Amino acid sequence: MTAVQGTEQALLVLEDGRVFRGRSYGAIGTALGEAVFSTGMSGYQETLTDPSYARQIIVQTFPHIGNTGVNDDDAESTRIWAAGYVVRDAARRPSNWRAQRSLDEELRTYEVVGIQQVDTRALTRHLRDRGAMKSGIFSGDAAKASVEELVKAVNAQPSMEGQNLSELVSVKEAYTVEPKDHGFDGEVEFSIAAIDLGIKAMTPQRFAERGVRVHVLPYNATFEDIGALGADGVFLSNGPGDPATAATQVELVRQVLDAKIPYFGICFGNQILGRALGYGTYKLRFGHRGINQPVLDKATGKVEITSQNHGFAVDAPREGAANAPLERFGRVEVSHISLNDSVVEGLACLDIPAFSVQYHPEAASGPHDASHLFDRFITNMRAAKNTAATASTQGEK
């Protein structure tokens, strides 16, 4: 793969043989991945650096991309994770006081092959009707092959189903995020173990802003690792891949639930909680991706506009409370529902301190309707600590 400036002929090829022609954007070469569309009108830097997009080719439905450039502050991880990038009108030059370089330069730095001047409206309608599918971007010499050869190369790649990608995106060494580094000057009341399955930088920051010390642990952290930290709660992050492959994390969450340690999961962490409780998961036709997804909070009747990025969902009863398939975990109810397609967007355990949502309450580029969920987790940890203190006092008597 060679990263050069300028625009050359480029092709986006889908597994069903549909071809979209454009010009190169970013690096020159070949990118293979699952084609998915994101409806966000802002936050392209946060989108590209979200580890949940590993091995996916992102199609931006908003036509103008790159206008505000790229800076060192807004990235959600240490690199761009998207396999490829598809836009309609790429900015010729950035225009923003915070811009430090262009998006085209950033794509070339991380050797991300992109394509511009694509009819993204037609492409999005195609993916919406046919579903997310295997795809490839080919530019430079790679684009000179026959369409038949390119379609064959696209279809030879593995599908997203069955992919275990947590190891690919997770931190290699544990680290700690301190509240004092994010403007909190009070006494630290709680610490949590956050299992990094593709965590976004803003998530531990949102906890730290509230006075919670966050120990970020690798994907393969054990229950013993959590115990050694004396954590007051356990958090499982977002991440890429198929939740059906996350057997290690599912077993870890079951240990957490058995110990009645407060649990909070988002996105992949929601799917893992579902599987830990005994529910199944399934692949959505084209997924939910963007920062404008409406969700109904069943407890309040309020609608929250949420940031989402997921291609799998939990299969659980949507009405009323029911015993979990693994009955030792008690009653569970679906707490949130997508108003676009009625997909399960949250789970609440009624007999143990555990809940999760399918969306992103940390949403760096907005919206912030769901930020109260961090406070809800803190409330759960405070209640658990008070219960433990009361039980200890009664035991002494």
Residues annotated as part of the active site: 267, 360, 362
Q: How far apart are CA 243 and CA 250, in angstroms?
A: 9
Question: Looking up tokens 């407060």, which residue turns up?
Answer: 262
- Distance between CA atoms of residues 318 and 333, nearest Å: 7
**How many angstroms separate the Cα of 135 from the Cα of each of 158, 188, 284, 322?**
11, 47, 17, 40
Pairing state between β 30-38 and 133-139: antiparallel
Distances (CA, A) of 70 to 4, 49, 93, 199: 19, 11, 11, 20
Q: CA angle at residue 275 from 270 to 279, to 5 degrees?
A: 105
The answer to whether the CB of 259 falls within 8 A of the CB of 328 is no
Residue 209 CB-half CA count within 13 A: 11
Which is it for strands 89-90 and 84-86: parallel, antiparallel or unpaired?
A: unpaired
Name the strand (E) or helix (H) holding 148.
helix 147-156
Three-class secondary structure of residue 145 per DSSP: coil
- Residue ranges of alpha helices (H) inside 6-49 are 44-48
